[in-house]
Amino acid sequence: MSEPTEQPVDMNRKYVRLVERRPDGLVEFEFSISDPQIFVEMLLPEAAYEDFCRMNRVILLEGSRPDDGDGGDFNWTLHEATHQRFR
């Protein structure tokens, strides 16, 4: 049986997944480098978000994040926590 091969980290591949354009003018999104499954959640005003995406030459990811099947109690985002989990 062969060992799984790790993909090399590519610092030039940057991803953004739009989560929500909020009524207060902020854009909520996930930003990742090299691996879209490892991300930080960010909020920026609309103009700053557009600049951020342009300056980082991001790859825009469509749709919601795929479910990894874990479904554990600790597998959630801040967006999920504030909109559904702890209401």
Average pLDDT taken over every residue of the chain: 85
Cβ density class 69-82: b for 16+ within 10 Å, e for less: eeeeeeeeeebeee
Q: 77 pLDDT exceeds 80?
A: no
pLDDT over 70, % of the chain: 70
Q: Largest Cα–Cα distance of the chain, in whole Å?
A: 53
pLDDT at 28 over 90: yes
- What is the per-residue pLDDT for 8? 87
User: Which letter does DSSP use for residue 61 in this model?
Assistant: E
**Residue 26: is its pLDDT beyond 80?**
yes
